[in-house]
């Protein structure tokens, strides 16, 4: 590596350190509000994909929403394909899901299907007992080691209605709180961001085909609360920065909001990272090692939702407030006043620079030395005359001085 390359590398590292240092202190200068149309386009693209997934693929609803029957038993040496074949032969119906959850002595085989009659349930239990000889917790082989539960469709419908009611009440309370604590435009922006969070999360579930269970809904409401918390933190800084903004013509409303987002962005990132760490631990330990399905549903929706909530609170909520304000006359007039002041300052600066340049040019012209004519190469040399010798008169009058002996 040459010396030039080493220097460039050091400068690049120093620049990155400087950027992250400025970002940490809230003066990163990221133009989030100014580029809000780009964030809107990204969000619109994700929403279109999410809505298409929900409309085309639909949701894989769990037994608690659709209704159905679930049969459980210790798996011993059973594979999921073997259990599926035995269940299908006994009931004549294909199970919707066969899985083994947990680890070690806590492993359980789950067979989920559409709702079965009591006769079909009995046939399935007998067939599974004869094929696999399951044992209970005490190690005794018994048919009672096989359990079953049935959820009616009406109960699943009741759960769905309660879920929707809880979501509506949650959004209404959010709107009321932010409208009272801050202002109406911020409340509208917060609801807008939360709706995007919900659509994106549910769209991912539909696209991947993940089961929607009551734990999923609980996790969804949890991450919406997290997103709301992060949004309120940003709005609080926006409210602080824009207080009395009309008395100053130094910054536009959008620039003040952008400053607030920059001052809180590192806090949002730190909160997100510190929240994701225990959720990741929950995914690895509870799901990967213990195989607890309920915890998997809860942790997965939180993992997806927290990332989405952080994006919406930084790149959508505050910029959308600016978009709403831009349609109001008093905010437009203030921004125009700021633009006029800046134009006047720029003109004054340009005039000052021009005056300085003219002054320097004049000073240079006055102090320049005159040039010697090219053709005048003849030099005149003048020899000065010698000074006259002083004359001294004798005592006898004018004439040369004569020396006589004896005279002094």
Summarize pLDDT for 80-134 with one digit per residue, the tens. Answer: 888 899 999 999 888 888 887 766 666 788 888 888 888 999 999 999 888 888 8
The total of other beta-carbon atoms located within 10 Å of residue 316's CB is 22
Q: Pick the more confident residue, 9 or 253.
A: 253
Query: If pLDDT is split at 50, 70 and 90, which confidence band does 398 have?
Result: very low
Question: Given this model, what pLDDT does residue 216 score?
Answer: 84
* 213 vs 97: CA distance, rounded Å: 14
Query: If pLDDT is split at 50, 70 and 90, which confidence band does 231 have?
Result: very high
Residue 186, C-beta contacts closer than 8 angstroms, at least 6 positions apart? 178, 179, 235, 238, 239, 321
- As given in the structure block, the two tokens for residue 262 are 């920059």
Question: Given this model, what pLDDT does residue 249 score?
Answer: 77
Summarize pLDDT for 298-342 with one digit per residue, the tens. Answer: 788 888 999 999 999 999 999 999 999 999 998 888 888 888 888
* 381 vs 397: CA distance, rounded Å: 42
The total of other beta-carbon atoms located within 10 Å of residue 72's CB is 17
* 51 vs 39: CA distance, rounded Å: 18
- The closest of 89, 117, 102 to 288, measured between CA atoms, is 102
Q: What is the DSSP string of 241-288?
A: HTTTGGG--SS-HHHHHHHHHHHHHHHHHHHHHHHHHHHHHHIIIIII
Query: 275 near 313, Cβ under 8 Å?
Result: no
Instruction: Report the C-alpha dihedral over residues 317, 322, 328, 331, rounded to 10 degrees.
Output: 140
- The closest of 148, 115, 116, 149 to 129, measured between CA atoms, is 148
Question: Given this model, what pLDDT does residue 284 score?
Answer: 78
* DSSP helix/strand/coil, 60: strand
First to last CA, the chain: 103
How far are the Cα atoms of 153, 291, 309 from residue 296, in angstroms, in the given order? Answer: 24, 8, 20
Query: 225 near 173, Cβ under 8 Å?
Result: no
- For 224-249, what is the mean pLDDT? 88
Could you give the domains of the chain? 28-59+155-333 (1.20.1640.10), 68-151 (3.30.70)
Question: Given this model, what pLDDT does residue 360 score?
Answer: 67
Query: 156 near 217, Cβ under 8 Å?
Result: no
Residue 325, C-beta contacts closer than 8 angstroms, at least 6 positions apart? 185, 253, 254, 331
- For 345-366, what is the mean pLDDT? 69
Highest mean pLDDT among 186-200, 249-263, 379-393: 186-200
* 124 vs 127: CA distance, rounded Å: 5
Question: Given this model, what pLDDT does residue 395 score?
Answer: 41
Give pTM, 2 decimals: 0.71
Query: 98 near 69, Cβ under 8 Å?
Result: no
The residue count of the chain comes to 408
- For 258-262, what is the mean pLDDT? 92
Summarize pLDDT for 189-225 with one digit per residue, the tens. Answer: 999 999 999 999 999 989 888 888 887 888 888 889 8
* 86 vs 127: CA distance, rounded Å: 7
The rounded mean pLDDT for the chain is 80
Q: What is the DSSP string of 7-70?
A: HHHHHHHHHHHHHHHHHHTT-----TTTTHHHHHHHHHHHHHHHHHHHHHT--EE-HHHH-EEE
Q: Pick the more confident residue, 297 or 26.
A: 297
């Amino acid at each position: 590596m040459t010396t030039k390359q080493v220097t460039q590398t050091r400068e690049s590292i120093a620049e990155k350190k400087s950027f992250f240092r400025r970002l940490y202190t809230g003066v990163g200068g990221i133009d989030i509000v100014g580029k809000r149309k780009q964030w809107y386009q990204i969000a619109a693209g994700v929403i279109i994909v999410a809505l298409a997934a929900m409309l085309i693929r639909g949701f894989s609803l769990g037994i608690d929403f659709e209704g159905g029957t679930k049969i459980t038993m210790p798996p011993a040496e059973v594979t999921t394909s073997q259990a599926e074949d035995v269940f299908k032969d006994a009931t004549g119906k294909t199970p919707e899901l066969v899985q083994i959850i947990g680890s070690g002595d806590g492993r359980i085989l789950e067979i989920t299907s559409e709702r079965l009659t009591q006769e079909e349930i009995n046939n399935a239990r007998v067939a599974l007992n004869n094929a696999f000889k399951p044992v209970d917790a005490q190690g005794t082989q018994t048919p009672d080691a096989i359990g079953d539960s049935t959820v009616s469709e009406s109960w699943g419908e009741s759960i769905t209605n309660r879920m929707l009611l809880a979501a509506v009440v949650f959004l209404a309370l959010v709107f009321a709180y932010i409208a009272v604590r801050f202002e109406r435009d911020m409340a509208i922006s917060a609801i807008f961001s939360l709706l995007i969070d919900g659509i994106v999360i549910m769209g991912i579930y539909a696209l991947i085909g993940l089961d929607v269970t009551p734990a999923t809904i609980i996790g969804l409401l949890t991450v919406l609360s997290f997103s709301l918390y992060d949004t309120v933190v940003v709005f609080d800084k926006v409210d602080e920065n824009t207080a009395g903004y009309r008395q100053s013509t130094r910054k536009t409303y959008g620039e003040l909001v952008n400053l607030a987002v920059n001052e809180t962005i590192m806090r949002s990132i730190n909160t997100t990272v510190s929240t994701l760490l225990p959720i990741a631990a929950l995914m690895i330990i509870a799901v990967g090692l213990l195989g607890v399905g309920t915890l998997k549903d809860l942790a997965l929706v939180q993992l997806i939702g927290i990332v989405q909530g952080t994006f919406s609170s930084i790149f959508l909520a505050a910029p959308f407030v600016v978009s709403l304000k831009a349609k109001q006359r008093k905010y437009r007039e203030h921004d125009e006043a700021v633009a006029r002041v800046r134009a006047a300052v720029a003109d004054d600066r340009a005039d000052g620079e021009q005056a300085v340049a003219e002054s320097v040019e004049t000073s240079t012209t006055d102090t320049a030395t005159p040039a010697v004519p090219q053709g005048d190469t003849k030099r005149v040399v003048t020899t000065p005359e010698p000074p006259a010798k002083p004359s001294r008169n004798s005592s006898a009058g004018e004439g040369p001085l004569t020396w006589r002996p004896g005279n002094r």
